Chain A
Amino acid sequence: MPDLRTNTGGIHSPNPFWLASAPPANSGLQIQRAFEAGWGGAVWKTLGIPIQNVSSRFGAHTIGGVRGAGFNNIELITDRSLDINLREITETKRLFPKHPIIVSLMVETESEWHDIIKRSIDAGADGLELNFGCPHGMCERGMGSAVGQEPTVNERITGWAVKHSSVPVLVKLTPNVSNIVPHGMAAQRGGAHGVSLINTIKSIIAVDIDRFVPEPRVGSMSTNGGYCGAAVKPIALHMVAALARERDFKLPISGIGGICNWRDAVEFILLGASTVQVCTEVMLRGYGVVEDMIDGLEQYMRTHDFSTIDQMVGKAVPACGEWGELDLNYETVAKIDASKCIGCQLCVAACHDGAHQCIHPVEGTRVPTVDESECVGCNLCQIVCPVEGCIELVQVDNGHARASWNEHVTEGKPIRPKKGAH
């Protein structure tokens, strides 16, 4: 039986699946139900000076009939009183002592930070998460992503928190920056025990084309919100990997962004996350989604002979490189398995209109042919093919030794002739 227990910066959890700081982690009863459903930990909805929210708050991006493939919100931090939140934290810890509760915090001054950290820890927090990421509303008041976008401010406030905290401190990073690394490094310099990323991305989710108002609509107006959900996963994976690859960055990572199932979680873990946080998928489908996450992860670990999460963390990081390191002489061509082909010819349209015009229809059959002398191995045909395993990209032995662009430029290593570039 694989061991799913994790340790992120000293926060121990029975499994790597945490609720992210968000509406599903808004109250004690919710989090208690989540723990009963199987969630390993929860990051409590951000505490601070309670705010007033708007109606409505959420917007969804529908892609190909899938509602909420992308999602955004203009909700702020908790609107409930600090006393009630703290009381519920205590109660939840009493009922679920082995499940870590990480309390997300967002205040302004050092004294405010000192005060809220003390009260959170007194209430039973196992860790703190500093919300330096919220890209709407709070940043206009000098908090949230306004902090996360300034490494010096990030480092200073992280330093305050660490100084006043007796439990591990995670810094939640905003993706609304051009390069995530300086911001992770700032958190490290401030003494954080780990980082969590990504927070939401600045976005306008949609426009009501009949009313001429963006969504979510608050009366006759809207504003930018934070983008999240399945569609943001690639951006989050990149940012997690960018920090994991950074030699001087040593902190553990709690991965966030579009995680919907065990497979997504595995990808984050392989790129360096030791825990993952989920919000949107729970908002759309409820806490029960964790069952498949746990089950699928266990099965994956069994089939790959992983006995602990630690063995998986960062396993794909060494394979993340710069473009200049890629082997220019690695050559593949598309092969169509005629016995599997259903004759939809999506590959023909894609190759002709969107790639290198090397897949052609054949008289008398619906199965197209690949002109391998022209095929650049771009992969588009395999992506559009609806039949699993019908199109494979097969390596061609072209007799050329490995040569990256960097090696070509610095060492003069020879590169193969171009294909499809006439």
Chain B
Amino acid sequence: MFSRLRSLAVTLSVLRSMRVPEITSWLLSRMDLPLLAHRTESAFSDFKLPLMRGEAIAEATRCLFCADAPCIAACPTSIDIPQFIRKISTDNVHGSAKTIFESNILGMSCARVCPVEVLCVGACVYNQLEQPPIAIGKLQRYATDRAFAEGWEFFEAGADTGKRVALIGAGPASLAAAHELRRLGHACTIFEKRATVGGLNTTGVAPYKMKSDRALTEVEWILSIGGIEVKMGVTIGEQISLADLERDFDAVFVGVGLGSDSALGVAGESLAGVHGAVEWIERMKLEHLDLRAVQRVVVVGGGNTALDAARESLGLGIPNVTMLYRGQREVMSGYSHELDAAMSEGVRIEWQSVATSFGGGNRIERVECVRLDESKRPMEGGAFVLEADLVLMAIGQSKLHAMFATLPGIAFDRGSIRVNADGATGRRGWFAGGDCANGGKEVVYAAAEGKRAAHAMHAEMMGEHAHA
């Protein structure tokens, strides 16, 4: 599950060998994170092309500037979309980017990775008018890319409050929370057990939406507000205990995401060539994979990770890509626009089918499957075989809650940390957001939850002073 990025592994082992006090905090504003130049993901180009200035202005001009706009309500971070689009239409790109980042500091990556079809763009009133909805994601990318390219700075840290916040995990939720906490004047320390930062934005996003270097650029940009210390290679519960955190910090934000890929528990699952999809995608994004011998891929699962893995396999030139999903299209959790894209690109899907075992000698060679009837029972005579050189298991990820279960007051819902609308757990000072609390959703939810939690933490830490 850990990254096998060799150049990072050295750093990782050095960090691991240190005791906590000696751990050099990796201030990413000065970082040059070593990414391999020839990563497998480099084979992809953006499937949505950036807008040129003229295109952006023309598209922005189409926006109706709705009152009480449905797109804002559909955005988990409540970006004032009509306002940022209007600013593009007047060539006020600086103001546009500011509007976006005010609501969502991860607005650059969200512009690329958000499932806009089911969020803002899906809510655009043009959908009711038999006209194309406004390309909100592309416009957001236009403004935020420009901000990055120009090096515009919009935010500065608030006056020092003397309060310290620990954030566990360096993914989108923690980054959004830390940035907001810095604006409010609190000192932040992010603990990251792994050798890379940015969470799934760095290791999990389909490379035709965003590559890992872009995600790292965003992390650097967020950290440029200053005062956010990132301690790499630190596992809470190992080098630092929960009690240490409670003693040394005024509040703790848990943004640890999800754990390793789940397994089916059938025979042959440990054969070489059978991988968890999240693990494989991370390796594909950070490493150089030798896929020359791979001709047939079977992806098990029907969620968005499964669809990503299937589309990525096909995009890497693997000719035969088959998804194995136990349900019908109607109940599939993957987005229908992603499914349509996958099918149009040539992904085959075996509906209402499950893998019963994996076969082969040293490596995976075939997947034994069976078709299910309406009540999910194996159909008589429904057995079939799919030949495979690579199997990607995308049937969910484990939950990382074990270490927090020892803390009284912290409760769980189906493995996710239970929080209220502000991200507060049942234990004073402890907040959570992102996948570990929402069960696994897009980065935009993590960004929203991190920011909301930051304000709740601020209110709790400052007590009556919060409104001063």
Given contacts A65-B57, A65-B61, A361-B68, contact A343 B89 (CB under 8 A): no
Partner of A343, one of B58, B60, B61, B125: B125
Given contacts A366-B70, A386-B129, A387-B129, contact A346 B61 (CB under 8 A): no
The CA-CA distance from A91 to B57 in the complex, in Å, is 46
Partner of B128, one of A64, A343, A348: A343
Closest to B61 in A: A65
| Residues in B whose Cβ lies below 8 Å from that of A361 | 68
The CA-CA distance from A43 to B129 in the complex, in Å, is 44
A349 contacts partner chain B, Cβ-Cβ < 8 Å? yes
**Top 9 closest A-B pairs, CB basis?**
A342-B128, A349-B67, A65-B61, A345-B67, A342-B125, A344-B66, A344-B125, A348-B67, A344-B64
The CA-CA distance from A349 to B86 in the complex, in Å, is 16
Say whether A346 contacts B65, CB under 8 Å. yes
0 or 1 for each of A50-88: is its CB under 8 Å from B? (1 = yes): 000000000000001100000000000000000000000
| Residues in B whose Cβ lies below 8 Å from that of A346 | 64-67
The total number of A-B Cβ pairs within 8 Å is: 36
Say whether B68 contacts A348, CB under 8 Å. yes
Least distance between B389 CB and chain A CB atoms (Å): 50
Interface residues on A, range: 10 to 19
Partner of B129, one of A342, A345, A348, A366: A342
The CA-CA distance from A348 to B57 in the complex, in Å, is 26
Q: List 15 A-B contacts (CB under 8 A).
A: A65-B57, A65-B60, A65-B61, A65-B89, A342-B125, A342-B129, A343-B70, A343-B125, A343-B128, A344-B64, A344-B66, A345-B66, A346-B64, A348-B68, A386-B125
Give the interface of A toward B (CB within 8 A): 64-65, 342-346, 348-349, 361, 366, 386-387
| Residues in B whose Cβ lies below 8 Å from that of A387 | 129
Name B35-91 residues within 8 Å CB distance of A: 57-58, 60-61, 64-70, 89
Least distance between B55 CB and chain A CB atoms (Å): 10
Closest to B127 in A: A342
Closest to A385 in B: B64
Closest to A345 in B: B67
Least distance between A349 CB and chain B CB atoms (Å): 4
| Residues in B whose Cβ lies below 8 Å from that of A344 | 64, 66-67, 69, 125
Further contacts, 4 of them, CB under 8 A, given A64-B61, A343-B70, A345-B66? A343-B125, A344-B66, A346-B67, A387-B129
Least distance between A406 CB and chain B CB atoms (Å): 39
Closest to B58 in A: A65
Least distance between B304 CB and chain A CB atoms (Å): 28
Closest to B128 in A: A342
Name B100-153 residues within 8 Å CB distance of A: 125-126, 128-129
Least distance between A397 CB and chain B CB atoms (Å): 32
| Residues in B whose Cβ lies below 8 Å from that of A65 | 57-58, 60-61, 89
Least distance between B52 CB and chain A CB atoms (Å): 13
Given contacts A342-B128, A343-B125, contact A64 B67 (CB under 8 A): no
| Residues in A whose Cβ lies below 8 Å from that of B89 | 64-65
The CA-CA distance from A196 to B68 in the complex, in Å, is 48
Looking at B57, B67, B129, which has the most chain A CB atoms within 10 Å of its CB?
Answer: B67
Closest to A342 in B: B128
The CA-CA distance from A400 to B298 in the complex, in Å, is 78
| Residues in A whose Cβ lies below 8 Å from that of B128 | 342-343
Closest to B66 in A: A344
The CA-CA distance from A348 to B61 in the complex, in Å, is 20
The CA-CA distance from A346 to B63 in the complex, in Å, is 11
Looking at A64, A348, A349, which has the most chain B CB atoms within 10 Å of its CB?
Answer: A64
Least distance between A98 CB and chain B CB atoms (Å): 42
| Residues in A whose Cβ lies below 8 Å from that of B65 | 346
Name B427-465 residues within 8 Å CB distance of A: none
Least distance between B96 CB and chain A CB atoms (Å): 15
Say whether B61 contacts A345, CB under 8 Å. no
| Residues in A whose Cβ lies below 8 Å from that of B57 | 65
The CA-CA distance from A361 to B66 in the complex, in Å, is 13
| Residues in B whose Cβ lies below 8 Å from that of A349 | 67
